[in-house]
Structure 1
Amino acid sequence: MPRQETPGGVDRSRMRSTAAALTSLTALAAMSLVPGPASAADPGAGPCALTRTAAHHSLGLDTWNGAYPQPRRTLDAVMVFLSFPDHRAGLTTQELAADYFPATGDFFERASYGRFRLAAHPQAQWITMPKPSTAYGIQRDWAARDRAAYLRDAVIAADREIDFSRYDIVYFVADPEAPGVDSDATKVVNFEQPIRADGTDLRRIVTVFEQHPPDRNVLAHETGHVFDLPDLYHRPTDGKGDWDTYVGDWDVMGSQFGMSPDLFAWHKWKLGWLDASQVDCVQSGSSLHTLQPVGRSPEPGATGGTRLAVVRTGPGSAVAVEARGSSGNDGDTCTEGVLVYRVRNEAPSGGGPIEVLDGHPDTEACWDRSVYPPLADAPLEVGESFTVPGERIRIEVADRTATGAFTVKITT
């Protein structure tokens, strides 16, 4: 079951003053984020690029939110392992590090077509927390005061050993066998005001409480939030029922358990892994588009081809069309074809910023593996067509080339 990211506020001086840390970390109760500064417009943005809004993790991509690191180069991530006085760790830090790397780094290497590298720096030693694990009330919907106490103690303890200025991303990994650790509490904690530590701004920490071994792709999901990507799942108000009604298996930000967890082409466009030549902005009339599967890596020396076609449907909305096949991060998919989805720039994380449109609404697929079988067969196959509900947009899949690309006719 997906984890929800949690906003909050922390401040701490580089001077390792326990009193100062105690005072500032109580600010974690804040539950809103001030939108980050905009950086220059993405060179791949065009007339079909939605404008970034104040929504948390807005999928507008005309500018980059400067509060987040851009995954367009090598980013260094420190992995800090936290133990507790009420449990002697039975696992080594090396065993826990192997739960997440190189798998998480490989996920992003494939997803970015080699344009981004996540370099992990797991620490060899355990950092001992000052209180028992049961003292922090660790759980999914964590009380702000308990969460603040945990982060306060973890930051102070880790800062004695870690030079945060060397790293772009911070993972705090708790001893999974400690009695007070709840695996459902894994999430990203954002700071309303950045922590100034070791001469650098620390804006968020990924808190990991996973079992050993952990959920599949869970750290890729949480790291996606570090890059300003939203939760794509729907959390029922009572916590019961289907969580995956928006996107099903089709993106790791929807479910870390998905059969086809590669990032949507829209996400890759936002992150800078697709450039203008790989995104077709569809105007009125009919046009043909040859779409390479999102998960397929380009041939050496090749540009990678077109990965996304976009029809703007309003000031804050668009319909996106992409191909999905059994390659790369999507190697375990049970269906292939052309996937159609809506994008909304004003929908916040968890509020349905992307909604997959079902090309086969009367059928389901892959009951044994899918997180949401009604959307497992959502892609259109060769010879099929689909009219977007409420829009004058028709998508027809004409054929599939020898290289696996799909030829798609879009009429608006």
Structure 2
Amino acid sequence: MRSVLMSLTLVAGLLVAAPVATAAPGCALPGRTGWTDEGHDTDRVQFQPSVGARRVLTLFVDFPDAPATDATTEYENALAPADGWLREASYGRVSLSVTPLRRWLRMPQVSTSYGFDRGITFEQHELYVRQAVAAADPYADFSAYDLVYVVPTRAASAITFSPTYLYDRQTAGVVADGTRVKWAVTYGQDMWRWGFKVAAHETGHTFGLPDLYAFTAPGHQYVGGWDVMGLISGPAPRHFGWHAWKLGWIDDSQVTCATTRGRWTVGLTSGGVVGGVKIAVVRTGETTAYVVESRRATGLDARACSTGALVYRVDSAVRTGSGPIRVVDGNPGVTPPAGCAALDMAALRPGQSVQDGSVRVEVLSAGSGGDLVRLTVA
């Protein structure tokens, strides 16, 4: 491991040894799936920028077999908190500037014809988006927006779930007002189950983030409830620090990187604290790394089941839904309380340690806003 110059600094009430210099880009992994993954070389033509104000047009649709009988206000209000949530998650670096088109738009087909009950194909999904955009085109200028939300009436029970549309260069796509509609979230009735964080999850896909839950049962075997890209309603849904780095919500200076064997000590500030070193990364291969970060039961993570240093493995060659991030359980055998799962208890407290492969993580001390950890790579 390369030597890291250290100095004493006060971090959230902890006197810690903090790195003076880092080489964060050396731990940035390349994507290898050609789609949403944990690589840092995200194609910003395929996926939208993840910083700045993203201009969103919200469309409300009903159907010949499921006409809307209520106002659009409740639907608009249900998703509105997503902007504040993402602002906090990104330390103010991304926001949703949402414009609702406050009228019901009649879709030309019945709600049962789009195939949501069968998982919906890309072709069906693109048709659904195209028809919604065509219905709205007389009332909106699509060249003024980056992202489209399509929200169905509650009467359309056949529109069950909320997939994200990401355009394919090989298709004719969806075009309106001389602009190609490249990104759209088409909500389903599950928005009433998940709440506004479904907008944070699905919008995350347009930024290039993969699904962290398993596409095969059991669904949350990889990360439990630690990131909104996994269990949307999880007790600690703040994005992993790795995601914050990938999306440009934290800087290289907030990442400590190691690429060789050795031992070092680093002070980590928790995700809910602005500034400070957010993640320590041990690169173990071309597409693999271990990450350590600090989590506290505050802010977006107010319901966290455990707090402390969280350790997880990242593999940017693993496809979405197959475990590109996997939390290392620091407390195996602990019986979780009601509302918590086993992996929700994974965070390490002072005096605890975990060994996974060649990497050992020990928590030396903790304060209200961070952890002092020692990492050893054999």
TM-score range, shorter chain: 0.7 to 0.9
Whether 2:251 is the aligned partner of 1:275: answer yes
Asked if the contact 2:162–2:191 (Cα under 8 Å) also holds between the matched residues in 1, the reply is: no
Task: Point out the more displaced range, 158-167 or 210-219.
Answer: 210-219
Asked if the contact 1:176–1:212 (Cα under 8 Å) also holds between the matched residues in 2, the reply is: no
Change in Cα spacing, 1:344 to 1:212, as seen in structure 2 (3 Å) is closer
Match of 2:135 in 1: 157
Asked if the contact 2:352–2:363 (Cα under 8 Å) also holds between the matched residues in 1, the reply is: yes
Which AA in structure 2 matches 1:376?
A: D
Match of 2:308 in 1: 337
| 1:102-113 alignment, distance < 5 Å | 103-113=81-91
Change in Cα spacing, 1:152 to 1:78, as seen in structure 2 (3 Å) is closer
- Find the partner of 1:375 among 331, 343, 353: 343
How many angstroms apart in 2 are the aligned matches of 1:95 and 1:105? 16
Q: Any idea what the Cα deviations from partners look like across 1:291-346, whole Å, max 9, x if unmatched?
A: 1111x142xxxxx1000000000111000000111122111112101110010111
Asked if the contact 1:55–1:346 (Cα under 8 Å) also holds between the matched residues in 2, the reply is: no
- Find the partner of 2:263 among 286, 302, 305: 286
* Number of equivalent positions: 351
Per-residue deviation at 1:199? 2.8
Match of 2:206 in 1: 226
**TM-score between the two structures when normalised by the length of structure 2:** 0.87
How many angstroms apart in 2 are the aligned matches of 1:122 and 1:224? 20
Q: Any idea what the Cα deviations from partners look like across 1:226-278, whole Å, max 9, x if unmatched?
A: 11000011122xxxx42000100000001111000010000000000111110
**TM-score between the two structures when normalised by the length of structure 1:** 0.80
Q: Any idea what the Cα deviations from partners look like across 1:366-404, whole Å, max 9, x if unmatched?
A: 3x213xx1201111111101111x22x111100113x42
Asked if the contact 2:24–2:256 (Cα under 8 Å) also holds between the matched residues in 1, the reply is: no
Whether 2:375 is the aligned partner of 1:410: answer yes
Per-residue deviation at 1:143? 4.7
Whether 2:244 is the aligned partner of 1:244: answer no
Match of 2:11 in 1: none
| 1:6-405 alignment, distance < 5 Å | 46-62=25-41, 64-101=43-80, 103-139=81-117, 141-143=119-121, 146-179=124-157, 181-183=158-160, 185-193=161-169, 194-210=173-189, 213-216=192-195, 217-236=197-216, 241-282=217-258, 283-294=260-271, 296-298=272-274, 304-366=275-337, 368-370=338-340, 373-388=341-356, 390-391=357-358, 393-401=359-367, 403-405=368-370
How many angstroms apart in 2 are the aligned matches of 1:64 and 1:192? 13
Match of 1:10 in 2: none
Per-residue deviation at 1:63? 5.5
How many angstroms apart in 2 are the aligned matches of 1:377 and 1:211? 27
Asked if the contact 1:290–1:408 (Cα under 8 Å) also holds between the matched residues in 2, the reply is: yes
How many angstroms apart in 2 are the aligned matches of 1:212 and 1:314? 39
Which AA in structure 2 matches 1:292?
A: T
- Using the aligned pairs only, state the percent identity: 37
How many angstroms apart in 1 are the aligned matches of 2:33 and 2:112? 37
Change in Cα spacing, 1:149 to 1:345, as seen in structure 2 (3 Å) is closer
How many angstroms apart in 1 are the aligned matches of 2:229 and 2:221? 13
Asked if the contact 1:325–1:336 (Cα under 8 Å) also holds between the matched residues in 2, the reply is: yes
Asked if the contact 1:55–1:348 (Cα under 8 Å) also holds between the matched residues in 2, the reply is: no
Structure richer in strand, relative to its length: 2
Q: For 2:306, what is the secondary structure of its paired residue?
A: coil
Which AA in structure 2 matches 1:266?
A: W
| More contact order relative to length (CA 8 Å, sep ≥ 6) | 2
Which AA in structure 1 matches 2:306?
A: T
Unaligned runs of 5+ in 2: 1-22
Q: For 1:329, what is the secondary structure of its paired residue?
A: helix
Unaligned runs of 5+ in 1: 1-43, 299-303
Change in Cα spacing, 1:297 to 1:109, as seen in structure 2 (3 Å) is farther
Q: For 1:314, what is the secondary structure of its paired residue?
A: coil
